[in-house]
Structure 1
Amino acid sequence: MSAVSPEMIGFPAKEPPRMFTTRPEIIGTFGAVASTHWLASQVGMAVLERGGNAFDAAAAAGFTLQIVEPHLNGPGGDCPIILHSARTGTQQVICGQGPAPAGLTVAHVRDHLGLDIMPGTGLLATPVPGAFDAWMLMLRDHGTWSVREVLSFAIAYARDGAPMVPRVRATIESVRPLFEAEWPTSAALWLRNGGPEPNGLYANPALADTYERVVREAEAAGGSREKQVDAARAAWYRGFVAEAIGRFCAATEAMDTSGRRHRGVLSAEDMARWSATVEAPLAFDYKGHTVLKCGPWSQGPAMLQTLALMAGFDVGAMDPLGADFIHHVVEAQKLAFADREAFYGDPDFVDVPMATLLSPAYNDARRALIGDRASLEFRPGSPDGRIPRTDYAAAIRRAQDLAAAMGSGEPTVSRLGASGGDTCHVDVIDKDGNMVSATPSAGWLQSSPAIPELGFCLGSRCQMFWLEETLPNGLKPGKRPRTTLSPSMVLKDGRPWMAFGTPGGEQQDQWQPIMLLRMIHHGLNIQQAIDMPSFHSEHWISSFWPRGAKPGKVVIEGRYAPEVLADLIARGHAAEMGGEWSEGRLTGVRREADGTIRAGANPRGMQGYAVGR
């Protein structure tokens, strides 16, 4: 997303951080929705106003995001959800991360196809798409609306057209050569009449047809609302959608980032075998707040490990805009993300020592590694005496090789179709206190060729697997790739308090703890914490193709004082200044003990909004 200068939105660049916000924090008592796109936020609020609950609203907003942010998520993507049910008083994680197909094995990719790394695009890296079932499972078990009601907004935008933000057009232009030369079905969908005009209406009639057929098949099943939701799920995973996906993968050879064409191995049988699952969230207590994340099939526990390390420092005494705060957070994250690489994976396949990784003794020992100087090492721990295994040296070589190739005229990232995808996010609280935090992503328009009869493409999340079965995140059929998607929920003094999250890949569990620490220790509200300049590191192994690493790299937002950058460099960080409004895509909603509901959203890119009353 493009950076925004303060002058563009009418605010000075150097207001005191506790006073400056780009917009007010929304305050009400009825409900609030915050998301990465104004239309999704308004759709969610419209559902609340018409009597729907937070789960109905989040699902309707989520399906809308597929239409209005097609470069950031799609129907063929993934979606983890954390929710709080006021009826039961409990929190749940709904895992909308689909697994590797049965035919996607190390032997097939490495030995038969001769690849040493999973491609970042195309059909080979496609998992079972999980977003649809995650939304529908939440709707069935917690919602009140019908399939028709929830999908009506997305269908209308797909049929009649939705305004395309300039970034959609920019993304399409970045992969236009690939579409024209290699992915004709994507060209037919996204390049017709020249492609979407920035801020102009653009329709996707094939996707509207798909969702209308889902509605018809759901209603044809008759019976209760819940039975109709299950019929919609069956149409997707065991009916016409699964059949079309299986046919397309078997018949289509798609160019990917390997520079070669490969067929997908995802089949209708893979689709039929899978459904979204429900599990308890992983929890960590921090200064009177219980932070909830998805399990180690996601990178979410890295945020909890970061908080466990920061708990031993006097964060409240640190200037939230100072170099000391940045240094300590980055050094803690280096240790947490090293453990992510060494130990996280699908717990159905991997014994992840999560209790030890979050234990006081382990974090006391790890915290002692954080000194006054930046570490340039990759330092996973040894929980329970385990020996960490990673591919860090190879990741550094890949980063160097890619930079050299791009500088020497070799096939560029754009020609190979690796225009970076990002993510969406939506948070909802309703009048009864139900809460949802959801992070849909993948199935980007640039991730794989469009399936013409369905109007969408498949994701490429399996790029996150290593082609070594014995690694925690090593490829195996039926295994979930360790996703970067990472919604958050927080309880305060045992009561549901805040739902929040962000797009950003590796940055999701960097920007989120920064926001939370500033709220807890420095008294900022949601909007202030979102607006405040932020930062990120690229020290560890990236989850995305080509899986590179940049030791010591820290990027701070351009609104930081120059002396902060100088201080970080003096401490040994490979620090650099980014754009003035370039770090963070956060949204959040919270409910205070007095019953007020408060919300905020990211102003960067002039796209995210919070609404409520």
Structure 2
Amino acid sequence: MKRLLLFALLLSVSAAQAQQTQKPPLHGRNWMAVTGKPLAATAGAMIFQQHGNAVDAACAMLAATCTMWDVLSWGGETQALIYNPKTGKVIAINALGVAPTGATPEYYKSKGYDFPPEYGPLAAVTPGTPGGLCYMLANYGTMSLKQVLAPAMEMAAGYPIDAQTANSIERGKKYIKEWPYSKAVFLTHPGEKREAPEAGEIFVQKDLLATLTKMVEAETAALKQGKSRKAAIMAAYDRFYKGDIAKEFVRGCQEQGGLITLEDLARWKPVEEAPLHTNYKGIEVYKLQEWTQGPMLLQSLNILENFDLKKMGYNSKEYIHTLYQTMNMTFADRDFYYGDPAFNKNPAIAGLLNKDYAKARAAQINTTMNDANTGPGDPYPYIGKTNPYLHFLEERAQLADTTSGRKPGGFVPKHDATTLLNTGNTDALYAYQGPDSAYMDRLWRGTTSVEAADKDGWVVSITPSGGWLPACIAGKTGVGMSQRAQSFVLDSAICPFNVIAPGKRPRVTLTPSMALKNGRPYLCFGVQGGDTQDQNLLQFFLNVVEFGMTVQQASEASNINTNQLWLSLGGSTIKDRAPHPGEILLNKNTPEATRKALEQMGYHLSFGERTSGPINAIYIDSAHGSLWGGSSNHGEDYGIGW
């Protein structure tokens, strides 16, 4: 019997290794650049060809994706993990904006909100991406800001816009018309049937180019004064956050009803911090702190190491059920215990990442049925404390009304919906989406990812976002304001750690990933997709580590998604955000026997064409001294290696 099991295991692993992919794997000896847009990957390649390191290239790709409005812009936020080969350490960059002056629960409730709005000036936190880019470049790059911004500035002067972005502008023009500065930039054909640019049209952003030019001018002037490369880059930073750019940003924000002040911009700064990590079968996996959802993946790995996943088999009913139940538990913990550590007097994260806590949670999994009532655990005893928030848990359970009469299932991931819209197949879209398209739009709301590595050992993983279309541009800066305030809550019963307050960072979905093996870089990986990010990244990691897939195979492989979580984005009511117990997204090729078994276990099934999420990744092949790149087959994600 043991021989048969071993033979079956070897067959499944070899099948995974032989799996054909829709896109070829990327190979490089010197460097690898992977991100969400082909032109942005090219920007990274240009910097590498000029002998920049992975940080320089990552900053160039970040600037390019912001300029191309790849579901983000310059007013958004940047989260990064960087492996520094000089120290052998992974560091974390927190360049997330904060809630502005006057942003209190009482203020938003007075305007009739259950959550901060998803669009417009009142959705804005302070911009983080310009500061995060300058900080990373100044401290860990080798090039000037002028060199790194050159591709983005050339694009701001005019680049051929892609269909996905152009169509997003057209779909969002109802909102764009409400904001005068956005209307002037995006609606290049006012009054016509199609007011947005056409695919391939040269899209010009004069105001943004002027803003980037001012930053470069500040750097150049500082260099002429004899200042160091680092000090010159930070002079550009100061011009954005304290100079004339800041004044125009604040003027334009407040003119349109926003709250951000000059003091808010001047006080804000990026933070370098120690990442969180766990060990999974000898592999150290790193995530940002609990101001992101990233620790949810670490918690999940701690629970899953108590099961023999390889024996269960890739996407078997047992594997799918175990994954789903694990993610339900870790999302319940995320939704209640995560938030800005600077505002947390009684942090729970040490208990949440405790291996004994994970073992106890694993023992609670019902192996035969979905548990629709999964809630947060109590991690405090595992750090020798009493939980000060137990009184909120009963109140919180009453907020999640899941008996609203809505039909389960019938949803489609955001990227599939976009593909159908771009091909004009709207009949297929509406037939496929069913009644829950608005909910799924919020679940999958995108960002992008930036992955870079070089032969000297620098490795970078960034998940930037914010200021996506339809974006409200702040004055004549060309900079779209973030919409990240919507990720706060207004009620402590939902999450006592994430209630909005001035100067506080929201708990975000953005979650770059990195892994080390034998003390050396092993993987960097990221994905877009709102609340689905760590669901897909968890399965990507397991696909590589447990099932022997290459990064390209793992980036395309079929995953599952759970909806049994509180949404982090979109919707203005509790009902919009509340969990949908038992809802599961499966790939359309899931075998009939697996479907029936899952239905018998209490799941409501829906199916998608592609269910892996738009994953980008790099595998550092230490044995051969080379780099493998994987780039999603979902849409425009693209990589270049050399």
TM-score when normalising by structure 1: 0.89
Letter in 1 for 2:202: L
Residue matched to 2:154: 156
Asked if 1:352 is matched to 2:347, the reply is: yes
CA displacement 1:255-287 (0-9 Å, x = unmatched) = xxxxxxxx2111111000010000011010001
Alignment correspondent of 1:45: 45
Question: Secondary structure at the residue paired with 1:226?
Answer: helix
Q: Which amino acid aligns with 1:608?
A: D
SS in 2 for 1:115: coil
Please give the secondary structure, in 2, of the residue aligned with 1:292. Answer: strand
Give 1 or 2: higher helix fraction.
2
* Match of residue 598, structure 2, among 568, 591, 603: 568
Give the Cα–Cα distance (whole angstroms) in 2 for the partners of residues 132 and 122 of structure 1: 20
Instruction: Report whether the alignment pairs 1:596 with 2:618.
Output: no
Q: 1:292 to 1:400 in 2, by over 3 A?
A: farther
Equivalent residue in structure 2 for 1:116, among 110, 114, 117: 114
Q: Indicate the residue corresponding to 1:520 in structure 2.
A: 545
Counterpart position of 1:323: 317
Q: Give the match for residue 500 of structure 2.
A: 475
SS at 1:81 equivalent: strand
What SS is found at the alignment partner of 2:157?
helix
Deviations 1:558-603 (A, max 9, x none): 233333322221211112112x224411011121222111111101
Which amino acid counterpart does residue 217 of structure 1 have in structure 2? A
**CA drift at 1:28:** 2.3
The one-letter code sitting in structure 2 at the alignment partner of 1:157 is: M
TM-aligned CA deviation for residue 31 of structure 1: 0.9
Alignment partner, residue 5 of structure 1:
none
Alignment correspondent of 1:102: 101
Q: Is the 8 A contact 2:444 2:532 kept in 1?
A: no
SS of 2:595's equivalent in the other structure is helix
Contact 2:372/2:582, CA 8 A, preserved across alignment: yes
Task: Report SS of the residue matched to 1:302.
Answer: helix
Q: Please give the alpha-carbon distance, in whole angstroms, between the structure 1 residues aligned to 2:566 and 2:182.
A: 31
Offset at residue 228 of structure 1 (A): 1.1
Equivalent residues of 1:190, 1:196 under 8 A apart: yes
* Equivalent residue, structure 2, for 1:256: none
Secondary structure, counterpart of 1:424 in structure 2: coil
Q: Secondary structure at the match of 1:453?
A: helix
| Conserved 8 A contact 2:516-2:523 | yes
Measure how far apart 1:358 and its partner are.
Answer: 1.4
Decide which of 526, 529, 535 is 1:510's aligned counterpart.
Answer: 535
CA distance in 2, matches of 1:56, 1:106: 40
Where structure 1 has 5 or more consecutive residues not aligned to the other structure, the ranges are 1-14, 253-262
| C-alpha distance in 1 between matches for 2:300 and 2:172 | 36
- 1:451 Cα deviation (Å)? 2.5
2:259 is aligned, of 254, 265, 271, to: 265
Cα distance, 1:45–1:395 mapped onto 2, change above 3 Å? farther
1:81 maps onto 2:53 in alignment = no
1-structure distance, mates of 2:339, 2:466: 19
Q: Structure 1 residues 478 and 516, CA, compared in 2 at 3 Å: closer, same or farther?
A: same
Q: Matched residues in 1 for 2:579 and 2:167: separation?
A: 26
Of the candidates 308, 317, 320, which is equivalent to residue 314 of structure 1?
A: 308
User: 2 CA distance for matches of 1:400 and 1:477?
Assistant: 38
| 1:438 and 2:462 matched | yes
Distance 2:598 2:559 in 1: 14
Aligned equivalent of 1:369, options 358, 364, 367: 364
- From 166, 171, 193, the counterpart of 1:169: 166
The reply to whether residue 233 of structure 1 matches residue 237 of structure 2 is yes
Aligned position for 1:536: 561
Cα distance, 1:399–1:234 mapped onto 2, change above 3 Å: farther
Q: Does residue 610 of the first structure (1) align with residue 639 of the second (2)?
A: yes
Q: How has the CA–CA distance of structure 1 residues 83 and 400 changed in structure 2, closer, same or farther, with 3 Å as cutoff?
A: farther
Give the deviation of 1:115 after TM superposition: 2.9
Q: 3-state SS of the aligned residue for 1:23?
A: coil
| 2-structure distance, mates of 1:442, 1:289 | 31
Instruction: Give the partner amino acid of 1:423.
Output: T
After superposition, the C-alpha distances for 1:191-231 in whole angstroms (9 at most, x for unaligned) are 11232212443221211111011111221122221111110
Where does residue 382 of structure 1 map in the other structure? 378
Aligned-partner SS, 1:545: coil
User: In the alignment, does 2:246 pair up with 1:242?
Assistant: yes
Q: Does the CA contact (< 8 Å) of 2:339 and 2:507 recur in 1?
A: yes
Q: Does structure 2 retain, via aligned residues, the 8 Å contact 1:242–1:267?
A: no
* Residue 141 (1) aligns with residue 139 (2): yes
CA distance in 2, matches of 1:591, 1:209: 39
SS state of the match for residue 91, structure 1? strand
Distance 1:549 1:241, change over 3 A: farther
How far the C-alpha of 1:434 sits from its partner, in A, is 0.3
Q: CA RMSD in A?
A: 2.4
For 1:305, what is the secondary structure of its paired residue? helix
Give the equivalent residue in structure 2 for 1:453.
476
Please tell me the residue identity of whatever aligns with 1:213: K
Q: Structure 1 residues 102, 469: CA separation in 2 closer, same or farther (over 3 Å shift)?
A: farther
CA pair 16-337 structure 1, distance change in 2 beyond 3 A: same
Q: Which residue of 2 aligns with 1:90?
A: 89
Give the aligned residue type for 2:377: G
The one-letter code of the counterpart of 2:276 is L
* Structure 1: distance between partners of 2:588 and 2:402: 29
Measure the CA separation in 2 of the matches of 1:235 and 1:295. 29
Bigger drift between 508-517 and 170-179 goes to 170-179
Shift of 1:122: 1.1
Residue 12 of structure 1: aligned partner: none
Tell me if the contact between 2:442 and 2:569 (Cα under 8 Å) persists in the aligned partners: no
Q: Which one of the candidate residues 128, 131, 153 is aligned to 1:130?
A: 128
Aligned residues of 2:34 and 2:616 also touching (Cα < 8 A): yes
Change (3 A) 1:401 1:375: closer
Match of 1:284 in 2: 278
SS of 2:82's partner is strand
The one-letter code of the counterpart of 1:196 is P
Amino acid at match of 1:429: A
**Counterpart of 2:469 in 1: which secondary structure?**
coil
Cα drift, residue 401 of structure 1:
9.1
Residue matched to 1:55: 55
Alignment match, 2:27:
27
Superposed displacement of residue 399, structure 1? 7.9
The alpha carbon displacement at 1:347 in A equals 0.8
- The residue identity in structure 2 corresponding to 1:46 is M
> How has the CA–CA distance of structure 1 residues 373 and 426 changed in structure 2, closer, same or farther, with 3 Å as cutoff?
same
Contact between 1:392 and 1:541, CA under 8 Å: does it hold in 2?
A: no
Superposed displacement of residue 400, structure 1: 7.0
Q: Deviations over 1:421-469 (max 9, x none)?
A: 410101100110100000110111314x223411121011111111136
Cα distance, 1:17 vs structure 2:
4.8
Out of 490, 515, 522, the residue aligned to residue 497 of structure 1 is 522
- Give the corresponding residue for 2:415: none
Q: Which 10-residue stretch deviates more, 592-601 or 300-309?
A: 592-601
Deviation at 1:374, TM superposition (A): 1.1
Amino acid at match of 2:172: V
Mapped to 1, the partners of 2:406 and 2:113 lie a distance apart of 16
Deviation at 1:536, TM superposition (A): 0.8
Distance in 1 (CA, whole Å) between partners of 2:529 and 2:464 is 12
